[in-house]
Amino acid sequence: MATMKAVRISTFGGFETMSYQVAPRPEAGEGQVLIRVQATSVNPVDNAIRAGYMAGFFTPDFPYTLGMDVAGTVDAVGQGVKNFSPGDAVFGRTELGRDGSYAEFVALPADDVVAIPHSLNFIQAAALPHVSLTAWRGLVDTANLQAGQKVLIHAAAGGVGHIAVQLAKARGAFVYGTASTRNQDFLQQLGADQPIDYTTTRFEEIAQDVDVVFDTIGGETQERSWKTLKPGGIMLSVIQAPSEELAAQFDCRGTLVMAMPPIAPVLREISALVEAGEIKPYVSQVMPLAQAAKAQELLMGGHTRGKIVLQVAG
């Protein structure tokens, strides 16, 4: 049996449950491509899966390989795959219930991967899939953000946030973005029209009559955000389902955003924006795959600018 190195868990729990170990190497099944992974990235959802918070959505077969983002080269193609060949540089995202991308190889449906934009390397491409899908599902598919509208994006310097800012600007919106003092210049570089330092300023005093709130924090931040919305506006949250009672009180809508398939159509749209210079992923740190547990710990500590990427192959 062919093997590979992967980061796996055999039970739910803390960071110590993650083990860099030898695992069976997958094969490309019908309609699949086998990808030699060059890079992957860490997302809060990876932490949620490891900790068991997603157990209500799916039950993994242990040992389970973590990770959702993938960038690499096609190593082999399964029966029926016509649009990819070995050696093609691709990126994509895995799905819940399927072994993930913290590994040297991963098999994915060919319909879930796309060619990497020419302007990106593997490290940059690995930073895009999950956060881009999340931002797109919220701002485009759910809110239908339009030119001239105003959007408030929380944790705008983070993984989802920094893509959401650029996507909102690409659609012609006016962007308020909250971040710490050290990230104010970074928000301006991303294109935010009004960066807000949440350590010194209450955002609801600056952002008013907004059409869309994009919440990645939840709790008190979400509660305070309702008063920034204009009547008929929408509260999007990737972390906590908005209160129906508060939505009615403020004459707004609220919805929980899930980064659900289909994947490839969104990644093609994002790739076009990347090639047009309107979206660029920011990678704050690159770590080896064997340090995936440390990378997750850093991410969950908060205050990460952009993405932390795991380099799998040199």
pLDDT in tens, 297-314: 999 988 899 999 999 975
Give per-residue pLDDT as tens, 155-188.
Answer: 999 999 999 999 999 999 999 999 999 999 999 9
Q: What is the pTM of this model?
A: 0.97
Question: Residue with structure tokens 């001239």?
Answer: 148
- Please report the beta strands in the chain, taking only residues with DSSP state E, as ranges in sequence order: 3-9, 19-24, 32-41, 64-65, 69-77, 89-93, 105-109, 113-115, 150-153, 174-179, 194-197, 210-215, 229-237, 253-256, 283-288, 307-311
CA geometry: angle at 155 spanning 298 and 9, to 5°? 35
Give per-residue pLDDT as tens, 12-45.
Answer: 999 999 999 999 999 999 999 999 999 999 999 9
3-state DSSP call for residue 221? Answer: helix
Q: How many domains does the chain have?
A: 2
Q: Which domain holds residue 305?
A: 3-128+281-311
3-state DSSP call for residue 194? Answer: strand
* Domain limit, last residue, from 240, 256, 272: 256
Whole-number average pLDDT of the chain: 96
173, 243: one domain: yes
CA proximity to 7, closest of 214, 296, 307: 296
109, 140: one domain: no
Domain with residue 38: its CATH number is 3.90.180.10
170, 189: one domain: yes
79, 140: one domain: no
Report the alpha-carbon distance of residue 144 to residue 9 in Å, rounded.
38
Give per-residue pLDDT as tens, 189-200.
Answer: 999 999 999 999
Q: Are strands 19-24 and 3-9 parallel, antiparallel or unpaired?
A: antiparallel
Report the alpha-carbon distance of residue 271 to residue 44 in Å, rounded.
23
Tell me the C-alpha to C-alpha distance, in Å, between residue 220 and each of 43, 196, 202, 226, 240.
22, 17, 12, 10, 11
117, 147: one domain: no
